[in-house]
Amino acid sequence: MTATIDTAPASAPFVEKTPLERYVAPAKPSLIGLSRAELGRALGTLGVPQAQRKMRVQQLWHWIYFRGLTDFEAMTSVSKELRAALSEHFTLDRPDVVAEQVSVDGTRKWLLRLPGETPGERPHEVECVYIPDTERGTLCVSSQVGCTLTCSFCHTGTQRLVRNLTAGEIVGQVMAARDRLGDWPGGVRPTDAVVPTGERCVTNVVMMGMGEPLYNFEAVRDALLIVADGDGIAISKRRITLSTSGVVPNIARAGAEIGCMLAVSLHAVRDDLRNELVPLNRKYPIAQLMEACRNYPGVSNAKRITFEYVMLKGVNDSIEDAKALVRLLKGIPAKINLIPFNPWPGSRYECSDWEQIEKFSQVVFDAGYASPVRTPRGRDILAACGQLKSASEKLSARERLALRAMTMTD
Ligand code: SAH
Ligand code: SF4
């Protein structure tokens, strides 16, 4: 692992941390996260003949992703022999939920435990956050333990350990959340805090937890395609948003291979400032990023790109910045989310004054963008964006526990 460059000057070369890639699957692997083709191959290893596999995969898919079963024994349409063989060789494990916190506003934050790099090593941890509203429930999902990037206002960027999550661990967050919320058919809803009034608790998914999803592209893609699959969890791609700090080459791939909604963490309208806030900008500057957004597959006025802009006092919050933002986005079907900065211990920024956020937002509003300020949620449980840093890191670095996630109320 290389050290973080959290305090590097803007002129420093762009440095990324290297993710640990030596993921060791448990001896008895979980089927969660396998594509239909992979599931078919897994059945093949149990001796299921080729001719039956498609039908068996369909049955399993229904039990796993529509019904949310955690036990093969309850799969009544599957033969007894096959159920026994499945239990002998596989599990339906999701990441372990080791802690749950519930905010007064209904936001829930789960600490999830994942296997470490080598057996016996301290496990890795990520956060997953649920933000309920009257009609929707948004789940903020992580793509990595830590992040290879080092945005200067983001707490996750200071975490040294980086491990890419597997597709199973990404889908597993959605499954674990639905387990906790009683969000499978016949499930019992929690009564300790607000959940949406509709049929489903989790209606939207945002890849806005820890990590840069476009630096773990294949796993994120495979996971989101499972989440969107109409025979299972069936969250429409229009209700799945992937947020990126601007990994330009993978933006087109996300559009073509996933087809979900895109959010871009812009945060600055000039390269000199963005180089400092989002060091990846030194590799993919604003002009390239805007070009990728203009060409995002499927982008239209009905399918706009969300531009996220964190409000940092005296840094990027002037009226000039607001005007330049509007000019920069001209011609791109866009939504703008102004995010009040969430401070964390040791952060060098302050959140803009409310008055300044209002003035900034007025410029954006006058340019035709509606209600752009995102209400911070779950502040009492440190579940707001950029506050998350996993407990394992805290233990190793003896740092104060600080946690984060998302405030996606759109
Ligand atoms: N890595 C991806 C997704 C995770 S971060 C990305 O950067 O887009 C999700 C969002 O939270 C991003 O827009 C990020 O810039 C923002 N964020 C990070 N730290 C924050 C903080 N301390 N306060 C407010 N927003 C923050
Ligand atoms: Fe990584 Fe996103 Fe945080 Fe930047 S803002 S360090 S890309 S998680």
pTM over 0.75: yes
**Where residue 328 falls among pLDDT bands split at 50, 70, 90?**
very high
Q: To 5 degrees, how large is the angle CA 302–CA 308–CA 309?
A: 140
- Give mean pLDDT, residues 24-44: 92
Q: Which ligand is nearest to the CA of 264?
A: 1
| CB 312 less than 6 A from any atom of ligand 1 | no
90 Cα–ligand 2 center, Å: 34
118 alpha-carbon distance from chain centroid: 25
Ligand nearest to the backbone CA of 214: 1
d(CA 377, ligand 1 centre) in Å: 14
Q: Give the active site residue among 127, 169, 212, 393.
A: 127
Other CB atoms within 10 A of residue 272 CB: 10
Ligand 2 contact via 126 beta carbon (within 6 Å): no
Burial of 104 (0-12, 13-18, 19+ CB in 10 A): exposed
293 carries an active-site annotation: no
**Which residue lies with its CA nearest to atom 8 of ligand 2?**
211
Residue 247, pLDDT above cutoff 70: yes
Banded model confidence at residue 11, pLDDT cuts 50, 70, 90: low
The yes-or-no verdict on residue 393 having pLDDT over 60 is: no
For residue 16, name the pLDDT band (cuts at 50, 70, 90): confident
Residue 44 predicted with pLDDT over 80: yes
The CA 182 to ligand 1 mean position distance, Å, reads 29
Question: Is the beta carbon of 158 within 6 A of some atom in ligand 1?
Answer: no
Token digits of residue 10: 């803007």
Of 262, 254, 233, 239, nearest in space to 33 by CA: 233
Q: Is the pLDDT of residue 398 over 70?
A: no
Q: Is pLDDT above 80 for 60?
A: yes
Each residue's pLDDT tens digit, 62-107: 999 999 999 999 999 999 999 999 999 999 999 999 999 998 889 9
Q: How far is CA 370 from CA 118, 232, 361, 363, 367, in A?
A: 49, 34, 9, 11, 9
**Residue 299 carries which side chain, given as an amino acid letter?**
V
Atom of ligand 1 nearest to the CA of 209: 4
Decide if pLDDT at 115 tops 60: yes
pLDDT band at 49; cut points 50, 70, 90: very high
Judge if the beta carbon of residue 127 lies within 6 A of ligand 1.
no
Q: Which of 210, 212, 337, 349 to mutate to test the pocket of ligand 2 (most atoms within 8 A of CB)?
A: 212
What contacts 263, CB < 8 A, 6 or more positions away? 206, 208, 241, 242, 243, 244, 305, 306, 307, 308, 337
Beta-bridge partners for 249: none
Q: Find out whether the beta carbon of 244 lies less than 6 Å from any atom of ligand 1.
A: yes
